[in-house]
Amino acid sequence: MREGKVTMLRILPAAIAAALLCGCAKAPQGKEVPGDPPAAGASASAQVQGGGGASASATASAGGALKVSEENKVYSFDYSFPAAAGDIPDLRALLTKRMDEARKAHIASAIDARADADKNHYPFNPYAYTTAWEEIGRAHV
């Protein structure tokens, strides 16, 4: 597997709405994120379109591939891994943990930057985060 990280304003279709695995993270210190999407349902696949252009989608197959995608006025977050990784419980747990940590850190950074932009009267550009794990080969055992 190889990890590809790209930060850009245009999101690549990838990641799971973290809501399926860990619930929507709250903004740090009681701050609200404008346009933050509501939590996705507990189904294997969910898509939410909120007011103000906010959206979240998640797709998870039983023990397999995972895709999370969130976007609002403050940040976009995409994370994914293939079924080959999701079929290995320990690897799935590790990648999911990394996703949760990255999501929380990304949201906190975006909220802080937005507050700084508002405080200092300069335009804010939304933050973007993408990690897409790919299967690049299989070992024959």
Beta bridge partners of 70: 56, 77
The number of distinct structural domains making up the chain is 1
| 141 found inside a domain | no
| 140 found inside a domain | no
Whether the model clears a pTM of 0.75, i.e. scores above it, the answer is no
Write out 62-76 in H/E/C secondary structure: CCCCEEEEEECCCEE
Write the pLDDT tens digit of every residue in 8-38.
222 222 333 333 333 333 344 444 444 444 3
**How many other C-beta atoms are found inside a 10 Å radius of the C-beta of residue 124?**
14
More confident residue, 51 or 73: 73
Domain coverage including residue 42: 2-134
| 88 found inside a domain | yes
